[in-house]
Amino acid sequence: MLERVDRLIAWTKSHQGRKLIRFTAVSVVSTAVSVVVIALVYGLKIIKGEVEATLVGNIIGAIPSYTLNRRWTWGKTGRSHVRRELLPFWTMAVLGIAFSMVGASYAKDFVHTHSWSHLFNTGIVDAANLVSFAVFWVLKLIVFNRIFHVNEEAEFDAHLIDEEESIPSRAAE
């Protein structure tokens, strides 16, 4: 068991491990942004339609997703390249949002054919939405690794080393 833990810890320090951890962290942040925006615009009746509020929330959530993934996950700086970065990112974001909305629509139709409680129905719709985003999350990871591909792992590792060196060590305490 300890050997597995040691391998997992070593993997988290590898190029791919850190990239996946960062991609996951960015997904958590962008999902939280989307949820808050949807809760505000729909909950406060700024936007009355569920679909429209979801669309706005997910578009706003995609903005920190792009910025954080580009800079933190893949270590890119400078101006974004429209054809190689922006266009593929927004294409995937729109597809993910559309896929999620289709999944939620099917769940909504499904729950309206049954006489379950609203709380249970909400859980089914939310689960369909999360499953849709989870499927697209894996696809986005694969695609974004190609979009933001750093030519050499050594370049990315140098970025990580520079970042670690900027964090004060515990030994100095």
pLDDT in tens, 6-50: 888 888 888 888 888 888 899 889 888 887 787 777 667 687 666
pTM: 0.66
Segment (H or E) for 157: helix 153-165
Q: Name the domain count of the chain.
A: 1
CB crowding 120-129: b at 16 or more within 10 Å, else e: ebeebbeebb
Phi-psi region of 78 (alpha: psi -120 to 50; beta: other; left: phi over 0): left
Contact predicate 92/138, CB 8 Å: no
SS3 77: coil
Residue 54, domain extent: 2-172
pLDDT in tens, 43-98: 676 876 667 777 788 889 899 999 998 888 878 888 888 888 888 888 888 888 88
